[in-house]
Structure 1
Amino acid sequence: MTNPFEDKDGIFIVLINDEGQYSLWPNFCQVPEGWSVKFGPDRKEACSEYIENNWLDMRPTSLIREMESASHSG
């Protein structure tokens, strides 16, 4: 059996969590708790492109807020 996360011909969804982190997920798998569908279902290439074009800051949302708060209080 092949890994469904590596299936180049599979149908995927893009998930996002409360920290603004993205994940590429096979469409047939249950969405894990704490994540919601942001894009798809679509081909892996389209989902990967969506992530690349939308996840521009890899820092978790809580870290961004903390850093912004620290820069304004200094």
Structure 2
Amino acid sequence: MSETQMYQVVVNHEEQYSVWAADRPLPLGWSSEGTTGSREECLAHIAEVWTDMRPLSVRRVQG
């Protein structure tokens, strides 16, 4: 991928985050979170917002 490749932050139903190439179709089960930029910018955003790595279903049970 080129240095100008744009990425987006994606999230699944368990509120798990990932980085995905912005020019590719989203994988099944994932949706755009709204943040786009370089890979590093997207990873920095994920580090800020994804503070509890447990899947949503586990957080609901454990409280």
Q: Give the TM-score, by structure 2 length.
A: 0.86
Letter in 2 for 1:35: W
Give the one of 29, 34, 44 matched to 1:49: 44
Q: Give yes or no for the alignment of 1:65 onto 2:47.
A: no
Q: Distance between the aligned counterparts of 1:18 and 1:50, measured in 2? A: 19
Q: What is the alpha-carbon root mean square deviation over aligned residues? A: 1.5
**RCO (CA 8 Å, sep 6+): is it higher in 1 or 2?**
2
Corresponding residue of 1:34: 29
SS at match of 1:58: coil
Corresponding residue of 2:7: 12
Q: What is the number of residues matched between the two proteins?
A: 63
Q: Give the TM-score, by structure 1 length.
A: 0.75
**Identical-pair percentage:** 33
